Amino acid sequence: MKVIADLCIVPLGVGVSLGRYIAECEKVLKAAGLSTRLHAYGTNVEGDWDEVMSAIKRCHEVLHAMGVPRISSTLRFGTRTDREQTIEDKVRSVQGQLP
Q: List residues binding its own copies (CB under 8 A).
A: 1, 4-6, 8, 10, 12-13, 15-20, 22-23, 26-27, 37-42, 44, 46, 49-50, 53, 57, 60-61, 64, 68-82, 87-88, 90-91, 93-98
Q: Could you tell me the smallest distance in angstroms from the CB atom of residue 53 to its own copies?
A: 5
φ, ψ at 92 (rounded to 5°): -65, -35
**Closer residue to its own copies, CB minimum distance, 34 or 44:** 44
Q: ∠ CA 88-19-24 to the nearest 5 degrees?
A: 75
Strand 2-12's sheet: what is its strand order?
2-12, 42-48, 35-39
Indicate the angle between helix axes 49-65 and 19-31, nearest 10 degrees.
140
Q: Could you tell me the smallest distance in angstroms from the CB atom of residue 61 to its own copies?
A: 7
